[in-house]
């Protein structure tokens, strides 16, 4: 233990854990209802490529170089940036890609 048993009682520790858990739950519930809070907590996607052209300002904001972007594209079996219609850096750090010529599914 970090503290002697007489310093911090178990009930105080449990109360602190319960408060943190309640705050976490409340943040999740409020972020489901509020777009602004969701963006604040989770962030929003960064548009890196549009119509086969890299957005250098967004790359700089995301702290990515062109070489790193090309490397991420190769991981998705894309050899040329012109094959990409849109590429987003998602809040979880993954790259979301829409290829050129791909349309929505027909129903």
Q: Where are the beta strands (DSSP E) in 2-103?
A: 46-50, 53-54, 84-89, 95-99
Let me know if residue 104 belongs to a domain.
no
Whether residue 58 sits in one domain with residue 31: no
Q: Which of 44-53, 75-84, 96-105 has the lowest mean pLDDT?
A: 96-105
Whether residue 84 sits in one domain with residue 51: yes
Whether residue 91 sits in one domain with residue 52: yes
pLDDT at 9: 80
**pLDDT tens-digit profile of 28-47?**
898 889 988 888 888 899 99
Domain count, the chain: 2
Whether residue 30 sits in one domain with residue 51: no
**Who has greater pLDDT, 19 or 39?**
19
**Alpha carbon of residue 26 to chain centroid:** 20
**pLDDT tens-digit profile of 73-82?**
999 999 999 9
Q: 84 and 98 in contact (C-beta within 8 Å)?
A: yes
Percent of the chain with pLDDT over 70: 87
Let me know if residue 60 belongs to a domain.
yes
Let me know if residue 1 belongs to a domain.
no
**Residue-range definition of the domain harbouring residue 18:** 10-41
């Amino acid at each position: 233990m970090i503290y002697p048993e007489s310093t911090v009682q178990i009930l105080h520790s449990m109360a602190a854990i319960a408060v943190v858990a309640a705050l976490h739950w409340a943040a999740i519930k409020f972020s489901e209802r509020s777009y602004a809070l969701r963006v604040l907590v989770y962030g929003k996607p960064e548009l890196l490529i549009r119509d086969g052209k890299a957005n250098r300002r967004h790359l700089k904001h995301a702290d990515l170089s062109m070489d790193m972007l090309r490397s991420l594209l190769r991981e998705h079996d894309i050899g040329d940036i012109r094959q990409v219609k849109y590429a987003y850096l998602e809040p979880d750090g993954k790259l979301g890609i829409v290829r050129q010529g791909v349309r929505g599914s027909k129903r």
